[in-house]
Structure 1
């Protein structure tokens, strides 16, 4: 009996492709990297650069002709909602509908909705910049990954989906959830790892699930149970928030798609939950307990040329992922690979990630070839 086919597309789809393969699908994948893990999980991988519309629509047409169940949109579609809409006409989009993406990514609609629902969030404005830029940030709702977040003084006008938001103190967190359009099941909470020397809000990984006080869990559950029907959320998603020292939360962003923490929840079969929610099956009543996992992206400290020998040294470590499939030149601040860790608690995961990050950094310093400027 032939295995069902599923197509996944986005900027980087390694985690989605592996989850699809674990669920027994013949996986077709489009992304910009084509690392060796993705190609192993999805023999039907295709290179996809700059979200080329023709390449995606052609792939969706072929997948539909092959009887594919549907397709899942990953990271990067925030800036390509018209393409997301066009793709949904070629093959069923398994996830949150496009109109709902438009709502949650538009600060002019999303933050007034939070206010109407009585949900906490930082002061946010999009009509004009704050008179005093101190402690204000500028964000772009059409971007992802935190690279777009910068001090308000560096943005003269919002335009598009841009907004200014007051900077608050707190631990950056996210809640991973699955929704069926009416209610949400929170799979767990993640501590976000953010910040690089020239990009203080860039996402570089996460640790989860981590425990939070019952009051925090209750606040986030209240928010999700209101936002799911109000926004028409379906399938996997994540809700980003700040957790202050007093246990208060402040909602920052809602991602209506599977995110970068998918592999942290592998024991819960998150893609199976996603498909159940999208196809109308009931959600379970509670998530499965599991150990704590961590994921961190390793960015190039300088311009590097990774030869076959270096890639082989990296590949010997089972906790290294997203490795290029062939020798490649890597620019400064570009991702080299990602690394994972599993331990009984978040502190142990954090320490293990740090040791492994240092180990790989040293390997690159000693073995990789530096490119001339």
Structure 2
């Protein structure tokens, strides 16, 4: 990448439903994160210079609570404030992005760009014009076939996906998509408006429940793809990103079946795979800012030497976090002492690095079991592996 003129010292407003991963990425990039999210987890508070907890997760991000939180954080900035980076939580409420952009530089995609990418009629029509394969998608429930899926426009995390009959009578921004067999593969990319670069591929998996079959479980890299398919998917991602003028980090979610791939959606923001792709040697937030502020892209994919995986640990029963709970270094998004966590809600994130993706995913699975056992016992001095 050419020489950067990005400041070496600056503060960043970081806001998302859960902002720990973005805050950690900001620290790795050398910046000071000022965080607003719904959890204010123990490690998020350690990472952030200042942290504000937003109210009412069920209602999502609201301006009446977000504005005073961001104003207070901005006043606490210990260095020049570069602007605001927004993670998950704004895909279905772009007017809030516009309000943030009126007060501070918006270090990501413009609200109009996010709106277009998340509009199923505009997005899939564009894919058809570009010749990018995708599942058949409609907004009229009558036109949806048997076995199709219902998805909420701007939804994230998989929990909004349901079998079509469950959503036929639901009001709101729902669209319907043909269900296709395949393994979920995500392409991490960075865009600079009219250009883009794919940084790497990961495989994802679900953590299903009775009422949420497609709930996000975790991700691991590198994805197992042929060189030809990688090149094909990269070409498609670059084409779509340039068509919509995407800026900064984003991800493109595919279903891969053999050598065929179907594009499901674009997430126009830094996403869930930050934990498995980011590193001290090549901080992704600097790549993001260089693309957004200077329209500069890296020379090619990330040169990662290890495989890595990360997964969410969901509570199997309601629990309250006690003072005796000891969290190992391979956990993140650690709840605070006294937090009450309902069944099927996230407890924390676990991660692992290994020689291969299979080994990293297996280690993550073992660590999920270890955390659940420790939460059940909550005995101090637990020996973590």
Normalising by structure 1, what TM-score? 0.92
Q: 1:222 to 1:160 in 2, by over 3 A?
A: farther
Contact 1:236 1:258 (8 Å CA) reproduced: yes
Cα deviation 1:266-288 (Å, max 9, x = unaligned): 22311110000011152121123
Cα deviation 1:190-229 (Å, max 9, x = unaligned): 1012132221111111001334212221221121221122
Displacement over 2 Å in runs of 4+:
54-67, 127-133, 157-161, 364-368
Q: 1:103 to 1:159 in 2, by over 3 A?
A: farther
CA distance in 2, matches of 1:72, 1:147: 24
Contact 2:94 2:111 (8 Å CA) reproduced: yes
Which position in structure 1 is the counterpart of 2:61?
51
Match of 1:270 among 268, 273, 284: 284
Cα deviation 1:281-335 (Å, max 9, x = unaligned): 521211232111100000000111121112x2xx1x2111111122211100111
Q: 1:99 to 1:319 in 2, by over 3 A?
A: same
Cα deviation 1:95-133 (Å, max 9, x = unaligned): 111111001111111111111111100011112334642
Normalising by structure 2, what TM-score? 0.89
CA distance in 2, matches of 1:194, 1:35: 23
> What is the number of residues matched between the two proteins?
362
Q: 1:131 to 1:176 in 2, by over 3 A?
A: closer
CA distance in 2, matches of 1:42, 1:3: 15
Answer yes or no: is 1:348 the counterpart of 2:359.
yes
Q: Which runs of 5+ in 1 are unaligned?
A: 369-373
Which position in structure 2 is the counterpart of 1:207?
220
Which position in structure 1 is the counterpart of 2:45?
39
Q: Which runs of 5+ in 2 are unaligned?
A: 1-6, 380-385
Answer yes or no: is 1:337 the counterpart of 2:352.
no
Contact 1:129 1:164 (8 Å CA) reproduced: no
CA distance in 2, matches of 1:264, 1:353: 12
CA drift at 1:139: 0.5
Cα deviation 1:3-43 (Å, max 9, x = unaligned): 41111001001011011112222211000011122111112
Backbone CA RMSD of aligned residues:
1.9
Which position in structure 1 is the counterpart of 2:303?
289
